[in-house]
Amino acid sequence: MSEMAMSFAALAGFVVGALAVLFYRNQIEAPSRTTAADGIETGAALPQGVASVLAVLPSSAVVLDAHDRVLRASSAARAFGLVKGDRLMAAELLALARQVRRDGEIRESEIDVAGHKFGQETTNFAVRVAPLGSYGQVLVLAEDQTERRRVEAVRRDFVANVSHELKTPVGAMSLLAETIQDAADDPEAVSRFAGRMQLEAARLNYLIQDLITLSRIQGAEPIPTPGQVVIDETVSDAIDHCNTRASAKDITLVTGGTEGLRVWGDVELLVTALRNLIDNAVAYSPEHTRVVVSVRPAGDSVEISVSDQGIGIPEEALERIFERFFRVDAARSRATGGTGLGLAIVKHVAAAHAGEVSVWSKEGSGSTFTLRLPAFGGTAVAVPPSIPLEAAP
């Protein structure tokens, strides 16, 4: 059982116990009553203490009477669509409540309920159903664990992908080392395979560095100590990192737009984000083309765009390109040494700066990635280089 599930079970046990005490006390103070119409013991109204406990619960809570009518429901239960009017809408929960009423045993389970929120297909609940008092009343507690399940799935996928990505260069280096050992008497072969080992080692290093960077920023937490960042210098540093790879394909890196713009942020992270965008553009562009990095003011933000003349991105892949390890063309990415983490890093760097990243692309016509960041001073104003950072508005 996961830590969160154990916490929910403990909370549910405490609530059930507390409500049972309240009901027991209520029964002593207010004797049971039998209606003349049907002879069924209905008991007194829901005690005030019970209503107060249910009101402060963060989870969905419902109290049913002996006829499956809802006596009390928390706002969360109604928001998720578990309760409508005086009826419990989830058939599985209703079946559990009836079983608990018959045998008096507390039951726990997990159920999926059709999504009640916009864009959500299903909601997964951890539920606990317990008898309440002696009048056939039943308490239902349901904890939304949809997000926790999603996070667990992402974590599993991440571990599996990291294992695979690390396995590939490590395995290649192992085979190359054996080959070099067997070809010890052939200096030319040793030199060739040693060069291959260096490439695999570099690929492994890039992957580890990207993982370290991603681990620092994936929480989308704000930059601890943001400062003024000169975009011209940031773009220049990022291009310097990419010049060697671009030159190998005879791709020209061009800069343009408004000079002198500044943003709030962390220089190192912003250089990393731009380097990844430029590297990505170079990797997916044919030889003898160009990649353009342009900067422009946009009200209270600064927009930095990286445009290429590459193969473009299929429309169905546009929503997934910022996922970790997602590749539009896995074969090309691995051939160029890509780790599959570059765009994920860009997305998290943007979030850490209270900004965003967007993409326009058309197959065969290239792509444009735009990083939008809050301007220093609240307005994107070009500052002449002669004005020092501390004197800028």
Q: Which residue has the tokens 């004005």?
A: 387
For 228, the enclosing helix (H) or strand (E) is strand 227-230
Phi and psi at 335, nearest 5°, equal: -65, -30
Strands 290-298 and 252-257: parallel
pLDDT class of 119 with cuts at 50, 70, 90 = very low
Instruction: Compute the distance between CA of residue 161 and CA of residue 352 in angstroms, rounded to an integer.
Output: 24
* Averaged pLDDT for residues 349-371: 90
pLDDT above 70 as % of the chain: 74
Numbers of helices and strands, H then E, in the chain: 10, 14
Q: Name the residue type at position 317.
A: A
Q: What angle do CA 304, 308, 310 make, to 5 degrees?
A: 150
Residue 330 has a pLDDT of: 52
Residue 50 has a pLDDT of: 66
Closest to 295 (Cα-Cα) out of 309, 280, 277: 277
Phi and psi at 244, nearest 5°, equal: -60, -45
Residue 222 has a pLDDT of: 65
pLDDT class of 166 with cuts at 50, 70, 90 = confident
Q: Which of 9-13, 114-118, 300-304, 359-363 has the lowest mean pLDDT?
A: 9-13
Residue 305 has a pLDDT of: 95
Q: Which residue has the tokens 């993409």?
A: 359
What sign has the CA pseudo-torsion 247, 333, 317, 155? negative
Two tokens, residue 82: 């578990």
* Averaged pLDDT for residues 92-117: 85
Q: Which residue has the tokens 């809408």?
A: 89
Identify the top-confidence range among 39-43, 140-144, 160-164.
Answer: 140-144
Q: Is the pLDDT of residue 358 over 60?
A: yes
Helix (H, G, I), strand (E, B) or coil at 157: helix
Sheet holding 137-144, edge to edge: 70-73, 60-64, 137-144, 122-132, 107-114
Cα within 13 Å of Cα(192), Cβ side = 6
Higher pLDDT, 291 or 185: 291
Helix (H, G, I), strand (E, B) or coil at 47: coil
Greatest alpha-carbon span in the chain: 105
Q: Which residue has the tokens 């009518």?
A: 69
CA 45 to chain centroid: 45
Residue 302 has a pLDDT of: 94
pLDDT (tens digit per residue) in 27-78: 434 444 433 333 223 344 565 666 676 666 777 888 888 889 998 888 888 8
Instruction: Compute the distance between CA of residue 229 and CA of residue 366 in angstroms, rounded to an integer.
Output: 29
Q: What is the DSSP string of 198-214?
A: HHHHHHHHHHHHHHHHH
Per the prediction, the chain carries an average pLDDT of 78
